[in-house]
Structure 1
Amino acid sequence: MNEIDREQAVATHGKPAQVLDAARALFVEHGFGASSMDAIAARAGVSKATVYAHYASKQALFAATTRRECRRVHERMALPDDVGDLSLSRALTDIGHSFLQAILSQQNLTLLRMVAAELPRFPELGPIFYDSAPGLTLASVSGYLEQARSHGLVDLPDCRLAAGQFLGALRGDSQIRALLGLTPDVDDAEQIVDAAVAMFVARYAIVTPARDGR
């Protein structure tokens, strides 16, 4: 079990979970800079020594909080366990719907706004958030496409690039509208996903010729 997996296992219950719950609430309410370790300990109902026993610094606590929140979102991503379970179009459609729902959730939008607001003072938050959220999703979709390529379903010179193109097509204008407090175009979620899948399949899918008599 690596360090992140160990951290995630510990943070699911007991005092570590209390600390993460308190930290998330204060980070959202007051921002990273204005949330002290003393305030986090008080909100969690534990001593500051207990907080430091689990998290060496506020940056480490933010990283753990972000990873937990992003893991919850990531767990809702509909990535097939086996590339052979679903057709390419069906798998991409499922991924598309779960991804769109995740990035437009209030939980995700709140976290993204907070990170963006704090970046000028705490630039280290940028890579922490990226590696825990967009980077993790990109790697997962890229991994699926690598499996699809090995099964002869797609012709992809660069799976990571293609995964980014697909996720970008799904984001479209909806995420920026949501971040700006405008009504996202989610009524057309079906249309957005169908269009992104159709473009991807038209560009990258390998069409297997039907055999005679079938």
Structure 2
Amino acid sequence: MSKPAPPPPDPQIADGPAGKVGLILSAARHLFLEQGYGNTSMDGVAKRAGVSKATLYVHFESKERLFAEVIDGARSRLREALVTITGNEQIDPAETLRLIGQQFLRFVTTQEVLTLFRAVIGETQRFPELGQTIFQAGSSDMLTLITDSIAQASARGTLRVENPKQAAAQFIALTKSDLHLRCLLEPSFQANEADIQRNVDAAVAVFMSHYGPRPR
């Protein structure tokens, strides 16, 4: 029995302003999710996208760069949400952190993102530069957004933080706790909203107990 034909690239992307770049990214995303990083070839991406290899290499010089762009595209909505949250200085810092934690944890526990995470973890032995590239493709700017928000709250006196960047990294680690690892290692397990809220509430409580303003 022949295998069913793979789904075409997303029409929303194909018809968008990105044109061929959108087609390429959509095709690459499908293949990385279906086959993993190691089994996906630039030839396969070009064929799936319906473009020539020359066109593919004009926009993406390597598979590593293409994978980084797929990861960054997945992160874009999270980044936009964090920009909105951290841009509102009127919100209590505990509530700001709660909103950040909810958006972040919902993102990293989606099936698509978990599959991409597994692809990175599974290939770092053969492609040691991959993990660093993926980290740089989006983690640093999200960490910067959270760092700046914590620094601003500290400047207003609503937090007491000497090293905002370290505190931001600690908050991300507290938010993920063991929930993210369980989702990675148990594909049959799916975090629900109650799991996410419980993790985030605990992370905010621990963070504020250490970095919150001293009681008068």
With the shorter chain as reference, the TM-score category is 0.7 to 0.9
Q: Kindly provide the amino acid, as one letter, of the partner of residue 120 in structure 1.
A: Q
The offset of 1:185, in angstroms, is: 5.3
Please report how far the alpha carbon of residue 189 of structure 1 lies from its aligned counterpart in structure 2 after TM superposition: 2.6
| Partners of 2:78 and 2:103 within 8 A in 1 | no
Cα deviation, residue 112, structure 1: 0.4
Counterpart selection for 2:196 from 169, 189, 198? 189
1:94-129 Cα offsets, whole Å, 9 max, x none, are 111111111111121111000111111111111111
Q: Which amino acid aligns with 2:49?
A: A
1:17-37: CA deviation from partner (whole Å, max 9, x where unpaired): 100111111122222222221
- Tell me, in whole angstroms, the C-alpha distance in 2 between the residues paired with 1:189 and 1:39: 37
**RMSD, matched Cα:** 2.0
Deviations 1:130-185 (A, max 9, x none): 12243333222111111111222111111111111111111111111100125255
User: 1:72 and 2:109 equivalent?
Assistant: no
Comparing 52-61 with 156-165, greater Cα deviation is found at 52-61
TM-score (norm: length of structure 2): 0.83
Unpaired runs of at least 5, structure 2: 1-15
SS for the counterpart of 2:134 is helix
Aligned: 1:18 with 2:45: no
CA displacement at 1:82 relative to structure 2: 3.2
Distance in structure 2 (CA, Å) of the matches to 1:90 and 1:135: 23
Displacement of 1:72 in angstroms is: 3.0
Percent of paired sites with the same residue:
36
2:183 paired with 1:178:
yes
Structure 1 residue 44: Cα displacement: 0.3
Q: Using a 3 Å threshold, how does the CA distance of structure 1 residues 94 and 16 change in structure 2: closer, same or farther?
A: same
How many equivalent pairs are there? 198
1:82 to 83, 88, 91: 88
* 8 A Cα contact 1:23 1:65, kept in partner: yes
Is residue 116 of structure 1 aligned with residue 107 of structure 2?
no
TM-score normalised by length of structure 1: 0.84
Counterparts of 1:73 and 1:199, CA distance in 2: 23
